[in-house]
Amino acid sequence: MPTNREKNASVGAQVYLGDGGGPQTLMQVLVQVLGPIAMMVAAGYLLQNRLQIDARSISRIVFYVLSPCLVYTTIINLQIDATTVWRMLAFAAINMTLMGLIAFLLTRRWGLSGGLASAFVVTAILLNEGNYGLPLNLFAFGQPGFQFALIMYAFNTLVGTTLSIFLLANGHHGAQLAFRRTITAPIVWALILGVFSRTTGRAPGGSFLEMLQLAGRSTIPVFLLILGMSLSQARARLDFHLVSRLTVLRMGVGPALAVGLATLVGLSGLAYSVAVMQASMPTAVNTIVLSNEFDAKPDFVAGAVLATTLVSVVTLPLLLLWLR
């Protein structure tokens, strides 16, 4: 029975470190993969503390302009076979469903209800696959890995955010709000236009395409700056008992479930590695914004984001070492 390393090597999945080759130690993973991420996150954190920048406005620029450009240009240049794309989407859907179900059953077992129960489920299923996952997979696996990661990010953004809005709205016109948010989200139209351009061969060229690609590439460092700003603004009165339970679920059970599920749906090589990494991300920073919007236990959510992000500094490098 081939090991995971052998399966990955057979199809070219390896940790990408430029001309230096793959990392051999945990320290190399921390420096080469997480080092650039930590540098930009720290810059965002310090900027927010010193200059009090309006992070929400910058987030809107990413949401309405930069991220759609990234999605569109990646789709038209995508070099992934359709079978693998569908397997990754199936993996993402099943993984989110199972994590949500586990979280829901735990809320029932522990007697959680109302906004706290909804917040617990949302922090378990809405992952930081954009701000954190996209740059991590880019630095770890290069441009091919980044393309796989973008598929997972698009699914998590569309389905995860929509479901989270519905849960946090807690019955107050949740379905209508979720539907309206979905059909008006720029990333949805970027996906549609990307598929249209890819299937018809009609896409902008020359300097227009270069500008779209330039805007898309700028998304990654801005993502990381926003992550640092958001963590700086997270002021949480921690319920350590519940936050620790969520952290074990998200950063312990989540990766274990992803490893088994990725094999079950038939993923292998680079697609397998990226799918597992994306499904092992900490709770998305966006959950803080959503919980504040719907007044659904924002203190607990902020604590969950902080705790899972801190724990990820240990779990993700170890997972990368195992995947290679």
Whole-number pLDDT of residue 7? 44
Q: What is the pLDDT of residues 63-81, one digit of tens each?
A: 788 888 988 888 888 777 8
Among 176-185, 262-271, 281-290, 304-313, which range has the highest average pLDDT?
Answer: 262-271
Spatial contact of 69 and 190, defined as CB atoms under 8 Å apart: yes
Distance of CA 82 to the CA centre of its chain: 22
Q: Which residue has the tokens 């890995």?
A: 145
Residue 302 lies in a domain: yes
**Model confidence pTM above 0.85:** no
The mean pLDDT value for 170-187 works out to 64
Residue 9 lies in a domain: no
Which residue type occupies 146? Answer: F
The larger pLDDT score, comparing residue 251 to residue 222, is at 251
Q: What is the pLDDT of residues 197-248, one digit of tens each?
A: 888 888 888 899 899 989 988 888 887 888 788 777 666 555 688 999 999 9
Neighbours of 83 (CB within 10 A): 9
Whole-number pLDDT of residue 19? 42
Structural domain count, the chain: 1
Whole-number pLDDT of residue 171? 45
Residue 13 lies in a domain: no
Q: Cα dist. 66→62, 162, 186 in Å?
A: 5, 20, 10
Q: Cα dist. 175→155, 165, 171, 196 in Å?
A: 18, 8, 8, 28
Residue 131 lies in a domain: yes
The mean pLDDT value for 33-42 works out to 83
Residue 109 CB-half CA count within 13 A = 9
* DSSP one-letter string for 275-314: HHHHHT--B-THHHHHHHHTTS-HHHHHHHHHHHHHHHHH
Rounded distance, CA 265 to CA 136, Å? Answer: 23
Which residue type occupies 216? Answer: G
| φ, ψ for residue 242, nearest 5 deg | -75, -40
Q: CA angle, corner 109, sides to 104 and 111, nearest 5?
A: 95
Residue 246 lies in a domain: yes
Rounded distance, CA 61 to CA 63, Å? Answer: 5
Spatial contact of 158 and 185, defined as CB atoms under 8 Å apart: yes
The larger pLDDT score, comparing residue 309 to residue 250, is at 250
Quote the percentage of the chain above a pLDDT of 70. Answer: 83
Quote the percentage of the chain above a pLDDT of 90. Answer: 28
In this structure, what CATH number is given to the domain that contains residue 284?
1.20.1530.20
Q: What is the pLDDT of residues 88-128, one digit of tens each?
A: 999 999 999 999 999 999 999 999 888 889 899 999 999 98
Residue 2 lies in a domain: no
Residue 5 lies in a domain: no
Q: What is the pLDDT of residues 43-61, one digit of tens each?
A: 988 988 888 887 778 877 8
Quick check: 21 pLDDT over 50? no
Quick check: 12 pLDDT over 60? no
First and final C-alpha spacing in the chain: 17
Nearest to 152 by CA among 139, 171, 180, 133: 133
Whole-number pLDDT of residue 96? 95
Task: Give kind and range of the element (H or E) at residue 72.
Answer: helix 67-76
Residue 155 lies in a domain: yes
Range of the domain at 317: 23-323
Phi-psi label, residue 111: left if phi above 0, alpha if psi -120 to 50, beta otherwise: left
